[in-house]
Chain A
Amino acid sequence: MSRTPTALLADDEPLLREHLATLLGRLWPELEVVAQARNGREAVELFERHAPDVAFLDIHMPGVNGVEAARAIGRRAQVVFVTAYDQYAVQAFEQGAIDYVVKPFDAQRLEDTVQRLRERFERAPAPAAGSADGGAALDPAVDALPQGRPAGLQWIKASVGNSVRLIPVEQVHYLRADEKYTLVAWEGGEALIRRSIRELADELDPQRFVQIHRSTIVNLHQVQQVIRGPNETAEVQLKGRPELLSVSRSYLHLFRQM
C-alpha cells in the first residue's frame, strides 16, 4: 500500500517557510506540504486538522515555541527541528533523539534528513496514530531550554507626569510607606505608586532590598553610611541624598558588625 507522505512547516519568517518548501519539493517530490504555520500555536492547530506525517518546526517562534509545539504533537509525527544558531536549542536536540537542520540550509545536510525520513516512512507508513504520550521523550529537552527563572521584581511602574515610567530596581534608593501609597525615591526623582510596601517587600530581591523600619525599605547597594545614634538607634544615609532614614530597633541587627 502506498500513501502520499504529508508535511507541516512552521516558521515565523515567511521567506524561510517558502524556501524550505521549495527545497523539500526538489529533494522529496512526493512529499506534500499540507500546511504552513506562522507560530507554535498555529502549528499545533494545523497539525490537529491535517495530521501530517512530518512536522518541520522552527524553534524560535512567538508565543508557543517549536519545542513546546513538538511536545503537543508527541509521537504522532516525525518532528524535525529547524533553527538558526542557538546554543540552547542544540543542547535540546542532543537530549531528545530527534533530527534537526540549521539555517541557512545546507542542501547536503537537508538531503540526509530527507533520506532518514523516507526510510522511516517506508518502514512504517502510518506512524502510531493517536498516541500523544510520546512527549515524555522530549521533556529533558524542554527542561534544557532557558526558563524564565523568577528573579524578583526588576522594574517598578510609577506614574510620572502623564506617562508610566519603568524604573529599574537597581536605581531605586528607598521606598517609604505613605498611607495607601508607597513613595519610590530613585536616581531620577520621586513618585507615589499605588501599591503597599508589604506587597513590594514580598516581591523585591531580599539580598538587595532590606526593611529598616516598619515603613521603610532601602536598597543596600545605595547605602552610603550608617550613623549610630544614642540608645540603640541608627540612621541610614544613601548615596547622593541628604535625608537620613531611621532604622528601628528591631532591624538594627542588619547593620551590626559582621
Chain B
Amino acid sequence: MHSAPSLPATSWLSGLSRQRIVTAIVLGIVVGLMLNPIFITPLLELMARTVVLSLLLMLAYTMAGNWRQGRVPVWVVQLITVCLAAPLGTFAVYVASTGGDLAAFLGNEYRIAGFAWIAGTAIGVGVLFALGAMVREREALAQAQRLQFELERTTLERQALDAQLRMLRAQIEPHFLFNTLANVQALVESGSPRAAPVLSSLIAYLRAAMPKLRADDGTLGDELQLVRAYLELMHLRMPDRLEIALDVPTPLQRVRFPSMAVLTLVENAVRHGIDPSERGGRIEVGARRDGDTLRVWVADSGVGLDPSAVPGLGLANLRQRLSALYGTAGRLELSEAPGGGLRAEIAIPAAAETP
C-alpha cells in the first residue's frame, strides 16, 4: 500500500509551536511587571500567576483552533474561548494559590480585587493577542498558498516540457519505419511509378516527426498535412483494409494548434483500431468550431477499446500537454464511435479571431 495519507497524531495541539510558548511566557512576565505597582503580592508570585494564566489562555486558544465543527467560524470559537478562559483560568490560579481554600479566597477583598484586575487584563490582552495571532496565521496561510500555487505552476511547466520532450523522442516507431521502407523498396524494385509520390509522403512525415530544436506549434493545416502524409503511407501498406476521410473546413486550418496532437490520435487509431482487425476499417478526421471551443476529432471503425487495455503513453502525454497549454479548457475525450470503434476528440479554446 502506498500514498494513503495518515492522520496527524496530536490533532488537538497542532499549531502549538515553540514560538507560541515563548510569546506566552514573555507576555505573562510583562503583564506581571505592569500589574506589580497596584498589587501587594510579591512580584515573583504575581509573575508566576500571570505566566501560568498566559500559558493556559494560549493552550485554550490553540485547542479551540483545532476544534473541527462546521457551524461556527473558527475565529469566533477562539475569541469566545479566550474570553471564557480568562476569568476561569484566573479563578483557578487564585484557588490554587490559596491551596484550594475557596473560603479564604472569597473572604479576602484584596484577593477579589486582584482577581478582577488580573482577569480583566487577561481578557483585554488575551483578545488583543488572539486577534494578532489570527492575522499572522492568515498571512502565513496566504503565504503558504502562494508558495503552493507557485510550486504547482512550475510543476505544470516542467510537466509540459517533459511531455514535449517525450513526444519528440518517442515519435518514429522503428516498426513503422522499416515496414514502410520495405514497401518503398518493393515499389522501387518493381519500377512502379508510385514510388516517387510514396517517397515524398515518407519524407514529409519524417521531416515533421523528427525532433525539432524549436518545437513551437504550427497551424491545424500543417498538422493535417502531416496526418495526410502518414495516412497515405498506411493506405499504401494496407490498401484493402484502410479507408480515409479528412474533412476540416479551410478557415479552421489557419488556427494555431499543438503540433503532433492529431497525428498521435491517428496513429493510435491505426495501431489499436484498424491494424488488429482482419477486415480493417475507416478513419475520419474532422474539426468544428463550437462557440468558444475548437473541436478536432479522429474516429475509427476498428476493433474498439478493450476496457482492460493499459492506456498508452501517447495519450497521457497529449493530455498533459493540453492541460499545460490550456488548463482545464484543453481536454482529450474518448468515446465509443457509433458503429463500434473509437472516437477521440480534442477540445481547446478557440481564439477570438478564429472564423
**Chain A residues packing against B (C-beta within 8 Å):** 12-16, 18-19, 22, 38-39, 41, 60, 62-63, 84-86, 102-105, 148, 150-157, 160, 163-166, 168, 170, 188, 203, 207, 210, 220-221, 223-229, 234, 254-258
Chain A positions within 8 Å of B310 at CB level: 151, 154
Partner of A155, one of B2, B181, B311: B311
Q: Assess whether B342 is in contact with A166, with CB atoms less than 8 Å apart.
A: yes
Q: Assess whether B6 is in contact with A151, with CB atoms less than 8 Å apart.
A: no
B327-355 interface with A by 8 A CB criterion: 331, 333-336, 342-343
Q: Is the interface of A mostly helix, strand, loop or mixed?
A: mixed
A225 to B6, CA, bound (A): 8
Partner of A12, one of B68, B178, B238, B311: B238
Top 9 A-B residue pairs of the complex, sorted by shortest distance between their CB atoms = A19-B186, A103-B182, A164-B336, A84-B178, A104-B182, A257-B6, A166-B334, A163-B335, A84-B179
Chain A positions within 8 Å of B342 at CB level: 166
Interface pairs (19), CB distance under 8 Å: A13-B182, A16-B179, A16-B182, A18-B190, A19-B185, A62-B275, A63-B277, A103-B178, A103-B181, A150-B308, A154-B308, A155-B305, A156-B307, A160-B335, A210-B4, A224-B5, A227-B68, A256-B6, A256-B7
Shortest Cβ gap from A113 to chain B (Å): 16
A3 to B2, CA, bound (A): 67
A151 to B4, CA, bound (A): 21
Q: Assess whether B331 is in contact with A188, with CB atoms less than 8 Å apart.
A: yes
Chain B positions within 8 Å of A207 at CB level: 1-2
Counting chain B residues whose Cβ lies within 8 A of the other chain, the interface size class is: 35 or more
Q: Assess whether A18 is in contact with B186, with CB atoms less than 8 Å apart.
A: yes
Chain B positions within 8 Å of A62 at CB level: 241, 275-278
Shortest Cβ gap from B206 to chain A (Å): 16
Q: Assess whether A16 is in contact with B186, with CB atoms less than 8 Å apart.
A: yes
Q: Assess whether A104 is in contact with B178, with CB atoms less than 8 Å apart.
A: yes
Q: Is B309 an interface residue (CB 8 A)?
A: yes
Query: Taking each of A155, A160, A221, which has the highest tally of chain B beta carbons within 10 Å of its own beta carbon?
Result: A155
Q: Assess whether A254 is in contact with B178, with CB atoms less than 8 Å apart.
A: no
Chain A positions within 8 Å of B275 at CB level: 62
Q: Is B98 an interface residue (CB 8 A)?
A: no
Q: Is B290 an interface residue (CB 8 A)?
A: no
Q: Assess whether B311 is in contact with A188, with CB atoms less than 8 Å apart.
A: no
A187 to B117, CA, bound (A): 59
Q: Assess whether A154 is in contact with B307, with CB atoms less than 8 Å apart.
A: yes
Closest to B187 in A: A15
Closest to A206 in B: B1
Chain A positions within 8 Å of B1 at CB level: 207, 254, 258
Q: Is B183 an interface residue (CB 8 A)?
A: yes
Chain A positions within 8 Å of B335 at CB level: 160, 163-166
A207 to B175, CA, bound (A): 34
Chain B positions within 8 Å of A150 at CB level: 308
A81 to B183, CA, bound (A): 17
Q: Assess whether B311 is in contact with A85, with CB atoms less than 8 Å apart.
A: no
Query: Taking each of A85, A256, A258, which has the highest tally of chain B beta carbons within 10 Å of its own beta carbon?
Result: A85
Q: Assess whether A39 is in contact with B68, with CB atoms less than 8 Å apart.
A: no
Q: Assess whether B6 is in contact with A15, with CB atoms less than 8 Å apart.
A: no
Chain B positions within 8 Å of A84 at CB level: 174-175, 178-179, 182
B2-33 interface with A by 8 A CB criterion: 2-7, 9, 11
Q: Assess whether B3 is in contact with A104, with CB atoms less than 8 Å apart.
A: no
Q: Assess whether A85 is in contact with B238, with CB atoms less than 8 Å apart.
A: no
Chain A positions within 8 Å of B6 at CB level: 226, 255-258
Q: Assess whether A163 is in contact with B336, with CB atoms less than 8 Å apart.
A: yes
Closest to B173 in A: A85
Closest to B11 in A: A228
Partner of A13, one of B174, B238, B311: B238
Closest to A223 in B: B5
Q: Assess whether B7 is in contact with A166, with CB atoms less than 8 Å apart.
A: no
Chain A positions within 8 Å of B7 at CB level: 226, 228, 234, 255-257
Q: Assess whether A16 is in contact with B241, with CB atoms less than 8 Å apart.
A: no
Chain A positions within 8 Å of B109 at CB level: none
Contact with A along B164-187 (1 / 0, CB 8 A): 000000000011011101111111
Chain B positions within 8 Å of A254 at CB level: 1, 4
Query: Taking each of B182, B190, B241, B343, which has the highest tally of chain A beta carbons within 10 Å of its own beta carbon?
Result: B182
